[in-house]
Structure 1
């Protein structure tokens, strides 16, 4: 569902090794009275609105807080609320999201340390996708941590649905597969499988080498495979570093 959003800002500060760290939260005043159906942390006790949002700020795995002013209940959530995030309807719930992306149209994933946005074009090549991400101040996303893999799966499934194929920042160079970050390809995520085979049946021979594609069939069936770098699918994901 698409819900219009109205923001007001709530600022929180805490001291970190002698420095003052500031968090900016946006209240989604027209996205209220809902709570995610799963992965929600319930905070014991009665808190004020500021205490609830600051608690989210302190917790590096939290980026969205849910507050009930009538009884002081506070709930913490590690992801953003997206169009298709499963939620339960509850009365008297205020929703606050921490802000941390330089570009406001990117989506923050705090635990993964990245902001994500999908782009699309016809006749996609790796070099074109790279140039677009460069212009956005980022890069084709490197899935070099399990947190980034989880973030991209959540973003795709709860924004666009399952089974979407997207180009990512993975490329074979001099015979070795590496992410744009420079990290070598290493599969440790329990739900991610690789079918990379250095082959594209629609481009023979492939003179541009091979590049990686990510697909989220479901949260328990994530895959990475390859096509020729000048024969990629229409969708690609740019990422930027968070600013929190």
Structure 2
């Protein structure tokens, strides 16, 4: 992994380009430490997650490592990461409060696609390719792909991709609403930077409150959603930022957020 914090943004890079950023156990362990640090650091407001090189975001699980683990008699994998390095992984950190932007340049396959699906915003190069090919390997999309794709696509479309392992182009993903923006590869970094700049203009506690409320309420009846107390909304309500925003508007100036 590569990890850098800069101007309220954490840049997290899957750094195994020689194997299309396939995720081995060491990478998962390092990622777990990073997610803990990012969540605890109030100076970090946004996360940008990407893969090293220009060929892949991530090709998913390191299958050579998995084959060796199988040979040594390791426990078989199933849905979730319980008891494995890096658990809970981002795909199961349902309370992770910071917005995460996936920068997808190339292949996002298997666990790589699942990782992108767990992000809040996806910006893709026009040559990006998405797929969940687990069925072709005798596996299941155990990091949430089976669950998230069927919630984020029409069911028949999701089942078509899940049961065949077929690949999806960036433009098809955009058509389905899985991707926020598709741009030529030479404009990818500028596009991601534009999204980051737009996110940084928002109040950090408001963003965390909105993310929590949306993700927790998505399957709730509307009446229940309105009646639910959300932790980050309780913090936002009584924060300095909740006063600063209207005051800055009244004074015709840019707000200064402190996240308190």
Q: Considering the TM-score relative to the shorter chain, is it more than 0.5?
A: no
Higher relative helix content:
2
More strand by share: 1
- Using structure 1 for the length normalisation, give the TM-score: 0.25
RCO (CA 8 Å, sep 6+): is it higher in 1 or 2? 1
Report the TM-score, using the length of structure 2 for normalisation. 0.23
